[in-house]
Amino acid sequence: MIICKSPAEIEKLRRSGRVVRETLEELRELARTGVTTLELERYVEKRLRERGAKPAFKGYRGYPCCLCASVNEQIIHGIPSERKLREGDILGLDLGAVVDGFYGDSALTVPVGEVSEPLRKLLRVTEEALELAIQKAQSGNRVGDISAAIQQHAEKNSFSVVREFVGHGIGRELHEDPQVPNFGNAGHGPVLKEGMVLAIETMVNSGGPATQVLADHWTAVTRDGSASAHFEHMVAITRNGPDVLTRL
């Protein structure tokens, strides 16, 4: 069942979305060579508290942290650790927060120092796929229109999309219906209606699509060890078109 939000509820989601995105943008600057992902976690924990927000991921199905920090071949759900970032890494940062009972969720992938051209292209294409997907988030379109836009853009650039993890509706719960896959066919799936709010998450691998979850039960990696990128925005379907709630 897809829960449609009132304009007042969308404004609450915009507040939580803003807290998440502001914190993520701060991390973009902090993600430097030699910094550990656990240092980023501690920073986030403090900044969410200062902003009057509660972490959304910590304790969710037993996840131990506020932040997901996924390096190189890690696709999503990397657990912050003493691992030091190195020049040339790419770092996926995914953050969720609750403000006044409503969830915010957003992600981006950043270069650490100077990064190779193939990795820069991966970041660019994955973010472009998200922007193309957002343009499809219009009343009367279907979820498959979003999915197909992501898959086509990734594959046109000879990358592949992840099948095992998907975007989602969001509101008073972190994960609501509908699921928003990164693959599929235009014209298929649930019809989009005014008031729906979707967390669209593009997950693109530079090699094959196959994934694997590490022994820590969380970290999702590419099976072939190829690099992967992840971007996520929350988007409300409105009469005036897509309204990105995690854009500052």
Binding site for ligand MF3 (CB under 6 A): 57, 60-61, 63, 68, 77, 94, 96, 105, 107, 168, 199, 232
The reply on whether position 73 binds Co ion by CB under 5 A is no
Lookup: tokens for 179: 């699921």
> Smallest gap, in angstroms, from Cβ of residue 57 to ligand MF3?
3
Contact range with Co ion by CB under 5 A, out of 136-144, 192-200, 223-231, 236-244: 192-200
171 makes contact, choosing from ligand MF3, Co ion, none, with CB < 5 to 8 Å by partner type, with none
- Report the C-alpha gap between 44 and 83 in whole angstroms: 17
Q: Are 63 and 76 in contact (CB under 8 A)?
A: no
Q: Which of 73, 89, 105, 145 binds Co ion (CB under 5 A)?
A: 105
Q: Are 114 and 90 in contact (CB under 8 A)?
A: no
Q: Per-residue DSSP letters for 61-91? A: GG---SEEEEETTEEE-PPP-SPBP-TT-EE
The reply on whether position 237 binds Co ion by CB under 5 A is no
The reply on whether position 199 binds Co ion by CB under 5 A is yes
Beta bridge partners of 91: 71, 110
End-to-end CA distance of the chain: 30
68 makes contact, choosing from ligand MF3, Co ion, none, with CB < 5 to 8 Å by partner type, with ligand MF3
Contact range with Co ion by CB under 5 A, out of 30-38, 85-93, 100-108, 112-120: 100-108
Lookup: tokens for 84: 């030091």
212 makes contact, choosing from Co ion, ligand MF3, none, with CB < 5 to 8 Å by partner type, with none
